[in-house]
Amino acid sequence: MSAKKLTAVAATALAAATSLAMPAHATNTPNTFPGASNGRLTVTTGDNLLHFDPSQNGGIGTEAMPSHKVVDAEWAPDGSRVAYMDENGSLITARYDGTDPVVVATGLGGAAHPTWMSGGSEVVYAHQGNLYQVPSLGGSAPVLLAAGHQPGDTDSSPEGGPNGSLVFQRDRGGNTTIWIYNGYNGTATGLNHLGFSPSISPDGKSIAFMLPDSSAVPINQIWTINSDGTSPVQLTHDTTTDQKSNTPVWSPDGAQIAFNAGGDIRVMLAQQNAPETARIPAITGRLSWQPEADPNKPASASNPVNLVERLDGPDRIGTADQVSGWSYANQQANVVVLARQDIFADALAGSALAARFHGPLLLTPTGNLDPRTLAEMKRVLKPGAFVYVLGQTQAISAKTFEQVAAAGFRPTRIGGQDRFQTAVDIAETIVPDYSHNPVTILTATGLNYPDALAAGAVAGSRPNTVVVLTSDKKMPPETQAFLNAVPQRTVFGVGGEAVSALSSARIPGAPVFGADRFVTASIVAHTFFGGPQVVGIATGYNFPDALAGGALAGSVGGPLLLTGPTGLPSETADYLRSASGSVSDAVMFGGPAVIDDGLQNQVGDLIGQPGQWEYAENNPSAHVGPR
């Protein structure tokens, strides 16, 4: 369920504020543009259309967007969504076919050049000499992207690239130079080279830009430079003063560069002294190439094939082992969290513990350590590593505890007299300094599992965040005592029961809930995950797969969504559709008995362009990480 659909009132207000309605007068004549080997060049001119090659889009040539005016449109890394500014100064993203508009930010009059960064997780734009970033699903206010900005600097023309990279131009003291920023580690580097309108290549190795030449009457030329600032090369050698070449962009395969010049669009091979491959007269605007991925070729930034995965075993213990194998295929875990396989009570807060302490959540019967679980422990842990055993001996027996110790590990039991105390004990383990540091606390009912497991992925994805339990609409004394002991707390009620419990205890908390478990999980995703690259999907009708899967999702910064066995709930589908600009990997937990094979097709077409995805089962190497 996208943010604009949370309530009918909110949807109506957003539509009115941003004119998200199809203009009846959209009858512009299509223009013809060239296609690269794996993409389509588009341009926005200020009408409500994306203009692109009619031979590659069913002969249409344009695609109407859900606004009266579309300015500075740019495609997401996988081409499934497009970001643009509308006529009201709102930042909008929409699906490739003009559906599913999402209002990312409003009140940005004068903002320009939106671009996708960090694999589509963020949208960056220029406004009044500064750069700002906002999650690509919106939901929070834009923040300043300083990137080494000093008083008096003017930053503009941001352009996102692979591996979290962003290039932009910075005017400082009358000199405009090229800068490169890394969205993953927050570092910014000036290349000490004059240049305007930079664009980074799909492999991240080269930057194209515009710079006037040294002729008596300077003429704008297109150049490239290595991303480390070395080896500048002049590509064009125009002699006509009215060419005014600018705004270069790379094709998805890195083979061509398109740019505006003298009122036309020109396309050339990305080589010195290369001939033009196309010229389109009498039209200019923001250029962007929509990638088209080939699932038969390896995924990369230039071939953004999305991935649908299934992790499953012959039973719940086997599935948990496969989930662990995905997370720790090529690295050791710090800990293992061990939970009872058949009852969820003590395990509900365990996924957050596993994710935060960098370890898998594994399952076992109460009375005996399953040999497969033991084998997985030995694979992922060093001898002497901690194994957190959840619950008292009624949940995990003394014998099982001793078997863990006999295998050379250090078992540590976390278990109170009931599920509520166990959750509090887990919270105190995650945040031992809770009495004098800020803590985010998510409350969820402990008498059922869906809301707590969705909350667990949130807690696992961020520091100083925990899950504690309510007794449906009542507040247990153990949970109440913990809440009272955290003076700097931010509290959320996940699910209707938890909201009621907070109200009954007169504890302020933000409500995060919907009509059922599927809607609640979707709203949790919208609230806390504004641009995930990985999402987890588990059945909403049983807990074991979601328990292990929630630990995986939290560890990679993604939500845990819920589904029925044969079809995605509309709210889950809506979230995947709206988040497709950032999501490159959807991981389904459990076999066909709990999630039907047919769902992979639905999921794949929702997280990207139809058919531009591949499927993998129990193959950790298929996941290639951030784009």
Domain boundaries, the chain: 3-291, 306-622
Q: Summarize the confidence of residues 576-580 as an average pLDDT.
A: 98
Q: Residue 36: what pLDDT? A: 52
Which pLDDT band holds residue 37 (cuts at 50, 70, 90)? low
Query: What is the per-residue pLDDT across 246-305, written as a single tens digit (0 to 9) for each?
Result: 899 999 999 999 999 988 899 999 999 888 888 888 888 999 999 999 999 999 888 999
395 vs 281 pLDDT, higher one: 395
Planar angle of CA 493, 495, 498, nearest 5 degrees: 50
User: What is the structure's pLDDT at 24?
Assistant: 33
Could you tell me the two tokens for 397?
A: 């027996």
- For residue 498, give the H/E element and its range: helix 496-504
- Is the predicted pLDDT of residue 599 greater than 60, yes or no? yes
The superfamily (CATH) of domain 3-291 is: TolB, C-terminal domain (2.120.10.30)
Quickly count: other Cβ atoms within 10 Å of residue 491's Cβ: 18
CA atoms within 13 A on the CB side of 95: 18
Rounded average pLDDT over 559-583: 97
Q: Among 293-302, 389-398, 436-445, which is the least confidently predicted range? A: 293-302
DSSP 8-state class, residue 328? T
Spatial strand order of the sheet with 233-234 comes to 196-200, 206-212, 220-226, 233-234
Rounded Cα distance between 106 and 35, Å, is 33
- Average pLDDT, integer, range 377-400: 98
pLDDT band at 88 (very low <50, low <70, confident <90, very high): very high
Residues of the chain with pLDDT > 90: what percent?
85
pLDDT of 35 strictly over 90: no
In this structure, of 12-16, 110-114, 255-259, 384-388, the range with the lowest mean pLDDT score is 12-16
- Say what the pLDDT of residue 217 is: 86
Mean pLDDT, range 502-513, rounded to an integer = 98
pLDDT exceeds cutoff 80 at 311: yes
pLDDT of residue 118: 96
Q: Are 483 and 489 in contact (CB under 8 A)?
A: yes
Give the pLDDT band of residue 347 (cuts 50, 70, 90).
very high
349 torsion bin: left (phi>0), alpha (psi -120 to 50), beta (else): alpha
Query: Residue 514 — pLDDT band, cuts 50, 70, 90?
Result: very high
Cα distances (angstroms) measured from residue 91 to each of 68, 156, 362: 13, 16, 43
User: What is the pLDDT at residue 55?
Assistant: 42
Beta bridge partners, 307, equal 585, 614
Res 238: pLDDT: 87
Angstrom distance (rounded) from CA 464 to CA 446:
21
DSSP 3: G
Integer Cα distance of 268 and 274 in angstroms: 7
Please state, for a pLDDT cut of 70, what percent of the chain lies above it: 92
Average pLDDT over residues 130-150: 96
9 band by pLDDT with thresholds 50, 70 and 90: very low
* Local confidence band at 34 (pLDDT 50, 70, 90 cut-offs): low
Q: For the chain, give the mean pLDDT.
A: 91
